[in-house]
Amino acid sequence: MSRMFFVLLVAHSVCCAADLTGNWVVRDPLPDGTVRRTYFDLREERGAIRGHIRTRAQHYEITESTGGSEGFTLTGTMHDGSNIRTTKYEGKLVGDELHVSPPRRLDGPLVEMVAHRTQAGEGAMPARLPLPILHQVPANGLANTPPMGWNSWNKFASKVDDAGVRATADALVATGMKDAGYVYVNIDDTWEAERDGQGNIQTNKKFPDMKALADYVHSKGLKIGIYSSPGPNTCAGYEGSYGHEAQDAKTYAGWGIDYLKYDWCGARNIYQDEDMQAVYQKMGDALRASGREIVFSLCQYGKDDVWKWGPEVGGNLWRTTGDIRDSWDSMAKIGFGQTDIAPYAGPGHWNDPDMLEIGNGGMTVNEYRTHMSLWSILAAPLLAGNDLQHMQPEILEILTNRDVIAIDQDGAGKQGAPALKEGTKEVWVKELAGGAKAVALFNRADADATVAVTWTALGLKTTPKHARDLWLHKDVKLTGPTYSAVVPAHGVVLLRVF
């Protein structure tokens, strides 16, 4: 197999023919009309190569190198909180071009470009802007129950486009999901282009008219959401809101946006984790001043105990964890780990263990029922992440189970918590409005198992008079001080008792 190389464009005013010293850039055109830029700011000194590498939302310091212009390797390191990320490149100087092989293939075709010189400093991280003094952002009165809808990332990632969003809006209506409560149609990363001469954010070729798209979604009785980052770039390397918070908020309002997911990714190159509250406050203030009611979703992976200050910055929901994957291990680790933060959830402000993976194919039907049950016990946002146009009936039944959704959307706004943990057996309980309780018996084992619990362990003095199995859609007869059920492997029995 032939080796693929990037050809980098030199951007340094003085450079010797056999010297790597300079600021180099590769421009990789993408099908959406944007250009992915990777920068190599290099200097050769004392037999080593020093400098920085900037690619997408990452900014690496070169910490190791070998060789020189005839052949070299570069290892870049960046610190992301307590995590250390590394990247490695190999390359050589060919005439006035720098040929570099990336650590992995980037999006789009690899295009050789003619070397040219540009101004020194291109691609450098922007200067750190001062942070505002902390204050309380007034509550916006939105999200009195956990938001429900759909997000593009889990299934479509960078393939999301105008036509797909319109088709999803149609599917929400046609499948009955809208009537079940799913109203937000949220566009995740990769919709952005660069800014115009006045600094206004533009959409790329995939989204020719965001205002027209929002109007279409609204015409279906739905709401529309969008995505950005407080950094210069988003996670996927597109334009972020850094230094343009108020301007972007007004743009979103003008388009008719109803929901903003604001992702920390690109901000970590400029700010520290302890800066998060002030950074998110800037956008919280901007949304309040935009003239439109916009739900504010904080996506920063549960860092810096966000649940303690999320409401202070105007947040309606905040991620409590890293990204979910469509697997039992990922879902279970995240969902069953939400045990100590229940007191911070309530009307208008919710803990968010990430979006639903139901229907994406990586789990069984029983595991997806567990996913839906656990998120509902947690009073978590229910944001479907699958292809709504091509759902199996059992997936649609899981997503539109009105009894289970009612547990999530209960007006008391309480987040549930575990009442019993015995190895792979767990029983969770959630207080509901009117004195009822939701009780979930989970079996995390790989084989069917009997799960039992006493009513007193659930805070009940006597046996409930009524119980309904929310997945079997039938009443359950209760006798005695203990309830038990055979629960399938990785499955759940979910009851409403009163």
Average pLDDT over residues 61-80: 93
What is the distance between the alpha carbons of residues 322 and 88, in angstroms, rounded to a whole number? 24
- Write the CB contacts of 369 (distance below 8 Å, at least 6 apart in sequence): 398, 471, 491, 492
In 255-392, the DSSP E strands lie at 259-263, 295-299, 317-319, 350-352, 382-384
Quote helix, strand, coil % in the chain, to nearest 5: 25, 30, 45
Q: Exposed, middle or buried: residue 104 (CB in 10 Å: 0-12, 13-18, 19+)?
A: exposed
Q: Which two tokens stand for residue 20?
A: 């790597």
pLDDT (tens digit, 9 = 90+) per residue, 198-242? 999 999 999 999 999 999 999 999 999 999 999 999 999 999 999
Per-domain residue ranges for the chain? Answer: 6-101, 148-408, 417-497
Of the candidates 370, 360, 371, the one whose C-alpha atom is nearest the C-alpha of residue 443 is 370
Inter-residue contact 238 to 265 (CB < 8 Å): no
| Confidence grade of residue 97 (pLDDT, cut at 50, 70, 90) | confident
Q: CA 388, 390, 395, 396 torsion: positive or negative?
A: positive
The confidence score (pLDDT) of residue 104 equals 59
pLDDT (tens digit, 9 = 90+) per residue, 362-405? 999 999 999 999 999 999 999 999 999 999 999 999 999 999 99
Average pLDDT of the chain, as a whole number:
92
Average pLDDT over residues 32-48: 92
Number of neighbours of residue 173 by Cβ within 10 angstroms: 14
3 pLDDT higher than 80: no
The yes-or-no answer on residue 263 being catalytic is yes
10 pLDDT higher than 80: no
Q: What kind of fold does domain 148-408 have according to CATH?
A: TIM Barrel (3.20.20)
Q: CA 264, 239, 154, 384 torsion: positive or negative?
A: positive
Residue in the structure block whose two tokens are 């767990």: 426
The confidence score (pLDDT) of residue 111 equals 43
120 pLDDT higher than 90: no
The yes-or-no answer on residue 446 being catalytic is no
Of the candidates 264, 280, 268, 270, the one whose C-alpha atom is nearest the C-alpha of residue 84 is 268
- Write the CB contacts of 127 (distance below 8 Å, at least 6 apart in sequence): none
Which residue in the list 189, 263, 304, 352 is annotated as catalytic?
A: 263
Beta pairing partners, 224: 185
CA 279 to chain centre: 18
**% of the chain surpassing 70 pLDDT:** 93
Confidence (pTM): 0.93
Which residue in the list 19, 107, 275, 323 is annotated as catalytic?
A: 323
CATH class of 417-497: mainly beta
